[in-house]
Structure 1
């Protein structure tokens, strides 16, 4: 079994932390671009990620690695699947912010780490500790409370959690660098994105160009999209899947605070659901701290 070097683990931890901090501020961007329909924002995220990603590849001299990855059928197929899961996640999250469901988006990314742990147990041979099991049980109860008492089955939350878990697992299975892999994913999505924007232009419904501020915000979607994904992909290949899942609690916490800031209704059912999940977060943190205190087995 290959073991991560301490420097790799440290770099992966810093990268994962950076990714989730950036993602935590995403609601601010999507509220600022609320005048643009969600599908158009999604298309712009894909379009402007391509040149920005290319600049990073050139700077890091990874064009050769990208070409090698494209020539491997298995790698290309897995990256294509990952790109579909990623685009679906992007689109639904943008839609959630636009219909004032920031809390549902936050809840989805709170649930996501729990699904990561389940996947780690079922497919990667990691063991589920008692505290992790209790945290997952509390999250399930929280979702049931929101569904039954609050009358709102969190479809958006569950979709975001599952789709991003699929993306994370696929990226962990692919033997390709963070940026080359991300660039190929964008290449897979670029054709439908350009075709859609072209159709909007033909039907005079393209928002891009009608307002200078919004247009610049659309261009900014490139670096805003690529930087956290690059950090995430870098981290996914250097730290344990369960550790990556624990880090993700940073993002939804910041998103939750954004929901409060923007005045989204926060019901009693929301309070009970989030409280149960926050308790689960504490249990996860406690479990991770306890595990870090144990001597490593050689």
Structure 2
């Protein structure tokens, strides 16, 4: 039993690393599609992710779970809201990567855990600890500092962390499972995506078809690029501690930061350095607090058995 559990943990750790590493390096993939407008890429991403989810749900025989969620209007409503949130997030990310704002996307995803804490406090009335409040204030100071240097707020970073934070909030409230929830989200958006693609094809402005096999293959693959890391993440989330997942999530923006600075040579001047340093301080405070509280809860759970 213990050996089986250890095996699950090892595979889950590898799956978690693979998921977050893929998300961190995925700008390389979107750069391959930079000749295609972000809106068209987004539409294809939803269509082919939906196809991927249909195949996955059929293979795993999990349609009853989807039907159970469909019978609950509250779940469907919040999945629709999360679908709009993730559509916004995906569009901003794809556009930003191909507009040479890779570093700002990294900043946005580093900020996401802190935004999630703030949203939980505002909408779910979750109490902020002093450490969490301090981390949010430090992050706010970092954004204010960068905005003062740029002459405007870092809109890409703010849009990404706000949309992904909202996505997490809506998914939490919906109560839908990871696979069924993603299917419902894509189902809400797919009709609009298909309509948009039909209009493009009618105008002769699309990049999908026999005349463009390279683009067609890359666009179809968006479903795999989206779906497979989510499967890895789902496996990791089932078998790893939340604190481990919390540490792993920083791999993604770290990978994106690496790409932005060393591969795409985006400007990384003193203001950006100071901003990232402040965000990392905020995350260190947040993570340390999470570890302390997790250990306290674990100790409280073990105490009665002693």
Does TM-score exceed 0.5, indicating one fold? yes
2:134–2:282 contact (8 Å) kept in structure 1: yes
Equivalent residue, structure 2, for 1:186: 186
**Mapping of residues 175-254 of structure 1, within 5 Å:** 175-209=175-209, 210-230=211-231, 247-254=248-255
**Mapping of residues 60-75 of structure 1, within 5 Å:** 60-75=60-75
Unaligned runs of 5+ in 1: 1-5
1:164-185 alpha-carbon deviations (Å, 9 max, x no partner): 1111111112233221111111
1:128 positional shift: 3.1
Equivalent residue, structure 1, for 2:22: 22
**Mapping of residues 1-298 of structure 1, within 5 Å:** 14=13, 18-124=18-124, 126-209=126-209, 210-230=211-231, 247-260=248-261, 261-294=263-296, 295-298=298-301
Whole-angstrom CA distance in 2 between matches of 1:241 and 1:128: 18
Distance change in 2, residues 1:216/1:169 (3 Å): same
1:44–1:193 contact (8 Å) kept in structure 2: yes
1:104 positional shift: 1.2
What RMSD, in angstroms, separates the aligned Cα atoms of the two structures?
2.9
Q: Could you tell which deviates more after superposition, 47-56 or 224-233?
A: 224-233
TM-score of the superposed pair, with normalisation by structure 1: 0.86
Distance change in 2, residues 1:287/1:16 (3 Å): farther
Report the structure number with the largest CA radius of gyration.
2
Whole-angstrom CA distance in 1 between matches of 2:237 and 2:33: 30
1:76 positional shift: 1.1
1:216 positional shift: 1.1
2:119–2:166 contact (8 Å) kept in structure 1: no
1:249–1:281 contact (8 Å) kept in structure 2: no
Q: Could you tell which deviates more after superposition, 13-22 or 72-81?
A: 13-22
Distance change in 2, residues 1:224/1:24 (3 Å): same
Higher normalized helix content (fraction of residues): 2
- How many residues of Structure 1 are paired with residues of Structure 2 in the alignment? 291
1:174-207 alpha-carbon deviations (Å, 9 max, x no partner): 2332211111111111111111111111111111
Distance change in 2, residues 1:51/1:35 (3 Å): same
Whole-angstrom CA distance in 1 between matches of 2:152 and 2:234: 33
- Which secondary structure does the structure 2 equivalent of 1:149 belong to? helix
TM-score of the superposed pair, with normalisation by structure 2: 0.84
- Which secondary structure does the structure 1 equivalent of 2:299 belong to? coil
1:243 positional shift: 7.9
